[in-house]
Amino acid sequence: MYLAPDDETWVGLDGPALRVARRSSAPLLFPLQRIGRIHSNLRVDWEMAALLACAEHGIPVVFIDDDGAVQARLLGRPGGRDELSARLLEFLLRPEASGMLQHWCGQHRARAARWAALKLGLSARARLRARDVRERINRNAEEYGGVRAALRTRQWLRALAYGWMESHLRDLGFGRATELAQAGQPALASELTEILFWYLEPARLGWLKRRHLAARHKGEVLREPTQREVVRLFEGRSARAATRGREITSALHRWLIHET
């Protein structure tokens, strides 16, 4: 569920559903049992009862600003499938665990970056560094949409990927009641999102390029992309993103089993 309104919006609780009301339209009801996660712009006004209901039903609420940056998060109850979190807790007892985990994340970021580079045809070299790939993607995105559009679409899309990963980790046992969450280390959702985001970059760049070419073909001024458009871009690829995300946590789980 995505709340990025153009006018004043309020979210309240109406029995087993969230009530979303806007000044310009009639209220809408969204049953809590059908909501997986919520991304809410900071301009949305929330009633405390609605937030507490989300927490009770295990629905994470991610609050983002107009630039797509995450400003706050509400986490609900953790899921019951906690094998991964138990393995990680055991692993982190080792003195060298932090460095090993960072090395694992770095390897998988590099692998995902190489995949993105080959997907985009940026280089035929298999060992292209992630930093070089990032610079090429940023330059191309700025060429297709301008500096502001390149930055904002990247931030918006990353926030959506982060929300998915956070929800997925909660289902795997990482929640506010766990020892890992209370300690705040490691920032697993952020680390794994950095890997997942590489698999979304070809879609973002391709979309920006299509907008650029369409505007040029029609002789129109290229308008800035909106947050809603980026949400639709993400939702159109949500199944593939979820598959990639589960592959990442499965790979981490297999590695932890080997190391513990």
| Phi, psi dihedral angles at 3 (to 5 degrees) | -120, 100
pLDDT of residue 176: 54
Of how many residues is the chain composed?
A: 260
68/38: higher pLDDT: 38
Dihedral angle computed from the Cα positions of residues 235, 249, 208 and 114, in that order, rounded to the nearest 10 degrees:
-150
Phi, psi of 175 (to 5 degrees): -135, 180
Q: pLDDT value at position 80? A: 45
Residue 166: per-residue pLDDT:
87
Instruction: For domain 2-74, give its CATH number from 3.100.10.20, 3.10.180.10, 1.10.540.10, 3.40.50.300.
Output: 3.100.10.20
- For 125-177, the pLDDT digits (tens) are 556 788 889 999 999 999 999 999 999 999 999 999 998 998 888 888 776 54
- Domain spans, the chain: 2-74, 83-259
Kindly report, residue by residue over 124-138, the tens digit of the pLDDT. 555 678 888 999 999
> Which pLDDT value is given to residue 33?
84
- Return the pLDDT at 48: 93
pLDDT classification of 83: cutoffs 50, 70, 90: confident
Q: Is the pLDDT of residue 199 over 70?
A: yes
**Distance between first and last Cα of the chain:** 38
Those residues with Cβ within 8 angstroms of residue 80's Cβ, 6 or more apart along the chain or in another chain: 173
Q: Which residues, listed in sequence order, are joined to residue 43 by a DSSP beta bridge?
A: none
| Cα dist from 70 to 74, 120, 210, 249, whole Å | 11, 28, 28, 22
3-state secondary structure of 29: strand
Mean pLDDT in the chain? 86
Model confidence pLDDT, tens digit, residues 8-18: 899 999 999 99
Q: Which two tokens stand for residue 212?
A: 């650029």
**pLDDT tens string 211-250:** 999 999 999 999 999 999 999 999 999 899 999 999 999 9
Q: Which of 106, 157, 65, 86 is nearest to 165 (CA)?
A: 157
* Pick from 118-122, 155-159, 179-183: least confident: 179-183
Pairing of strands 38-41, 70-74: unpaired
Which whole number is the average pLDDT over 105-111? 93
The residue-averaged pLDDT of 104-129 equals 84
CA 110 to chain centre: 19
The answer to whether residue 182 scores a pLDDT higher than 60 is no
pLDDT band (50, 70, 90) for residue 77:
low
What is residue 25's predicted lDDT score, i.e. its pLDDT? Answer: 84
